[in-house]
Amino acid sequence: MPKINLLYVVTKLELGGAQKHLLDLITYLDKRRYNIFLFTASEGLLVQDALSIEGLTLKCSRFLERPINPLKDALALIEIYRFIKRNKIDVVHTHSSKAGILGRLAARLAKTRIILHTVHGWSFHDYQPIVGRNFYIWLERLCGKFTDKLIVVSNHDRQKGLENRIGDEKKYALIRYGINSLEFGLKDQNIRRGWGINSNDLVVGMVSCFKPQKSPGDFIKLAYSVHKNLPDVKFILVGDGILRKAIERLIYKLNLGKQVVLTGWRRDMPRILSMMDVFVLTSLWEGLPISALEAMAASLPVVATHTGGISEVISEAKTGFLVQPRRIDKMAEKVSSLLKDENLRSQIGRNAKGSLGQDYTVRGMVRYTDNLYWDLISKKEMPYAN
């Protein structure tokens, strides 16, 4: 039986949930059934990880990038189109917003038989100017018309798509992020010493890109609020990005230099999470944050903003707490209550880990995706289904 030529398109291989999800999918799909290709930007922290995956053909583009650039976007579209035609691609599966638009348009022009897109949070949100928001909704509606399946990682994103008339109910498939729970849960106290944190210090942490969506400045304001009443607590902010300088200035302004540690990007998330006592997420908008799922797998209580699909995994006061975005006072209240009560932290952490069932495993995620591909292949009456 001939193999399926399967192309993934993602804007940039940075350290993010969409990228982790995609590389796990590529790694564990059966290479006896697929010839797998990946089209992405030339720069990204995970490019080397992609190159190390056996059986993957990687194409790094000079033109594909996150910022809108009409000339480069047009050239990237042409480049993806030519790549599809040259490699006789049967299935195109796009990830991330920019790649989702360009990749699907190229696939349509190339008359690709099957087109899918995974929504890792929609390209439009409530913090955009109305004109820009409506433009992205229009683009999603346009591409949705020729997308065979829109995969969502949360019911929230499915509902948001339907409310904005992007496809119909039949277009959507729910496939959760997969977490390898065996990687999480082991305590590594040695990692604390490198940052001058004692074994008995309480640590509050967050993992995110330093960009407006994640609102990392709110984490620093949270640290300031908690520090006033619990002066010995340490705060770990993992990540980097365009807001780095602003974060450093805020830390200096609030005199938190001895309390806040900026680790930069890290590749050892199980070890990093093992040093935390409470996990926080201050995002303004989300799809379903994979960092919160990893924290839950590490038996950490999560205090997060009530955005996107997070309410589908956080059960109030059982597996964590949810507060409205920008409510630093409410978030500080929840974090402080956890820091003061070790039994409460332990109980909620255990509940969080136990709540992640089969739907949130890498194996389950790969199996559901593979089954979806073959369901579409059979419906298209492609020869591979025989």
Query: Could you read off the pLDDT of 293-351 as tens digits, one per residue?
Result: 999 999 999 999 999 899 999 999 999 999 999 999 999 999 999 999 999 999 999 99
Which residue has 């995956």 as its token pair? Answer: 53
CA distance 79 to 61: 8
CA distance 160 to 156: 6
Q: How confident is the model at residue 383 (pLDDT cuts 50, 70, 90)?
A: low
Please answer whether residues 351 and 319 qualify as being in contact, where contact means their C-beta atoms are separated by less than 8 angstroms.
Answer: yes
CA distance 19 to 21: 5
- What pLDDT is attached to residue 313? 94
CB atoms within 10 A of CB 351: 17
Hey, what domains does the chain have and what are their CATH numbers?
A: 4-178+361-385 (3.40.50.2000), 181-358 (3.40.50.2000)
Q: What is the pLDDT of residues 59-111, one digit of tens each?
A: 999 999 988 899 999 999 999 999 999 999 999 999 999 999 999 999 999 99
Collapsing DSSP states into helix, strand and coil, what is residue 206?
A: strand
Please answer whether residues 6 and 34 qualify as being in contact, where contact means their C-beta atoms are separated by less than 8 angstroms.
Answer: yes
Q: What is the mean pLDDT of residues 4-24?
A: 94
Q: What is the mean pLDDT of residues 241-266?
A: 96
Q: Which residue has the higher pLDDT, 41 or 189?
A: 41
Containing 7, the helix (H) or strand (E) segment is strand 4-10
Would you say residue 131 has pLDDT above 80?
A: yes
Extract the tokens encoding 17. Answer: 């949930």
CB atoms within 10 A of CB 111: 8
- Name residues whose C-beta falls within 8 Å of residue 65's C-beta, 6 or more positions apart in sequence: 11, 12, 41, 72, 76, 98
- What pLDDT is attached to residue 126? 87
Give the DSSP per-residue string, 74-108.
Answer: HHHHHHHHHHHHHTT-SEEEEESHHHHHHHHHHHH
Beta-ladder partners of 39: 9, 59
Query: pTM to 2 decimals?
Result: 0.93
Q: Which residue has the higher pLDDT, 170 or 193?
A: 170
- What pLDDT is attached to residue 239? 94
Q: What is the mean pLDDT of residues 179-206?
A: 86
Specify burial of residue 337 (Cβ count, 10 A radius: 0-12, 13-18, 19+).
Answer: middle
- What pLDDT is attached to residue 357? 86
Would you say residue 186 has pLDDT above 80?
A: no
% residues pLDDT > 90 (the chain)? 85
- Residue 184 is given by DSSP the state S
Find, among 221, 132, 119, the residue nearest to 174 by Cα: 119
Extract the tokens encoding 23. Answer: 């590389």
Would you say residue 280 has pLDDT above 80?
A: yes
What's the mean per-residue pLDDT of the chain?
94
- What pLDDT is attached to residue 385? 52
CA distance 185 to 109: 47
Collapsing DSSP states into helix, strand and coil, what is residue 304?
A: strand
Would you say residue 192 has pLDDT above 90?
A: no
Would you say residue 228 has pLDDT above 90?
A: yes
